[in-house]
Amino acid sequence: MDIKALEEWYRMNKAKNFSEFYSALSMTSLPMFNIMYADRYDTIFYISNGKIPVRNSDPKYNWKSTIPGNTAATLWTTFKPVQQLPQYVNPPSGYLYNTNHSPFLATDKKYNLDPKKFDKNDGYETYHNNRSQRVTELINNQKIDYNTFKKIKFDQQLPKELKYTYGIDSMLNLTANDYPTLKEMVTTLQNWDRKAVINSKGAAIFLLVYDYVSKKLVGTPARQLTKSESIETYQYVYDYMIKNFGKTDLMLGDVQKLVRGDDARPGWGLPDVLTAEYTEPYKNGLRKIISGDAYICFVHYPKDGSLPIIETVNTFGASMHPDSPHYKDQMGMFLNQQTKPMTLDKATVLKKAEKVYHPQKK
């Protein structure tokens, strides 16, 4: 019965410092979202935000499963205040991050929160995903400057230890010579460097493997594929490529496309790499990117207190109108992992504006 989410967003955006920002969060009207904060005063903050109900702690009720609805004992009407949610302010490590993974793995392991100190009925995740695991590999206790930070954001490498729900170790351990038809495909995947780049043949195979396995095993507990499932998956990918492309010697960009209108370009990325991309069927066996990496914004606060230095890029452009020159003018920059300068300086904005108008004036 809380309809103040937009008001909370408004107050967050109007906040001039951390105290005002935290006061806005104290409304607890936003039902979800990881929230990260940084300001020119070197304050950094992360909260695993949510409208978290106060649930009955009686062990006979398993809040991860179905609970009886015919008793007031399972009815919740109050919510936890913001102070009781997992959060960090200025950890000694000097950094915070989140890739939609556990709030208890948000910084250097010496300064992470202890999940045992939080109500288990809140249901917080406690594990890494592939992106967060990769960040830990890249940071690895080293000092990160601005350019290194940008390289981390644009990283296209899966971690050494994969964190997908369903493991493909059995696919990587098959003896390729035992399967003459699938031999080339098995060898290619086994030799894949796990990079989600456009010219990768291993990534092309994994793209189809991921789609097939995630649909086939949806709803089943996390586990490794069996040997028979691995052979079945290879056969699916082989048949798919032969049917739609007439060959199996394909690169990721041959199968995966970034599409805007009638413009389809080879696309990088895979599910849960730092440059993540998720796809759906497009046409003629191709797959179209529908989510993942999108608007990207880097913000750097100068020491002299001047306006922040901002770099941005959008997936396609700043317009949804196909007849606009900005409908897809950032598409090439996005694919090349390039950014453009953006500013909060009003004088500069007005000076470079293509058009200045008032919405209520003709």
The DSSP code sequence of 16-29 is SSHHHHHHHHTT--
φ, ψ of residue 341 to 5 degrees: the values are -75, 145
Instruction: Please tell me the distance from the alpha carbon of residue 235 to that of residue 224, in angstroms, as a whole number.
Output: 18
Give 146-193 pLDDT, tens digit per residue. Answer: 999 999 999 999 999 999 999 999 999 999 999 999 999 999 999 999
Model pLDDT, residue 124: 94
Q: How many helices (H) and strands (E) does the chain have?
A: 11, 12
Determine the average pLDDT of the residues in 39-51: 95
> Residue 206 burial by CB count (10 A; 0-12/13-18/19+): exposed, middle or buried?
buried
Residue ranges of the chain that CATH labels 3.60.20.10: 5-127
- Cβ neighbours of residue 210 closer than 8 Å, sequence gap 6 or more: 164, 270, 271
Model pLDDT, residue 360: 81
The answer to whether 252 touches 158, Cβ cutoff 8 Å, is no
Model pLDDT, residue 359: 84
Give 314-355 pLDDT, tens digit per residue. Answer: 999 999 999 999 999 999 999 999 999 999 999 999 999 988
Determine the average pLDDT of the residues in 101-105: 97
Instruction: Please tell me the distance from the alpha carbon of residue 99 to that of residue 272, in angstroms, as a whole number.
Output: 9
| Mean pLDDT computed over every residue of the chain | 95
Which residues are bridge partners to 46 per DSSP?
A: 36, 88
Q: What is the DSSP letter of 154?
A: T
Determine the average pLDDT of the residues in 222-243: 97
The answer to whether 289 touches 269, Cβ cutoff 8 Å, is yes
Count of CB atoms situated within 10 Å of the CB of 109: 10
Model pLDDT, residue 242: 98
> Residue 230 burial by CB count (10 A; 0-12/13-18/19+): exposed, middle or buried?
buried
- Do strands 340-342 and 309-313 pair parallel, antiparallel, or not at all (unpaired)? antiparallel
Count of CB atoms situated within 10 Å of the CB of 41: 10
Q: Is pLDDT of 361 > 80? A: no
Q: Is CATH 3.60.20.10 the classification given to domain 5-127?
A: yes
Confidence bin at 141 (pLDDT 50/70/90):
confident
Determine the average pLDDT of the residues in 77-97: 96
Helices (H), 90-159: 130-139, 146-153
Model pLDDT, residue 362: 64
Model pLDDT, residue 105: 97
Determine the average pLDDT of the residues in 96-121: 96
Residue ranges of the chain that CATH labels 1.10.1400.10: 166-292
Query: Against a cut of 0.85, is the pTM above it?
Result: yes
Model pLDDT, residue 61: 94
* Secondary-structure class of domain 166-292 per CATH: mainly alpha
What's the gap between Cα 7 and its chain centre?
26
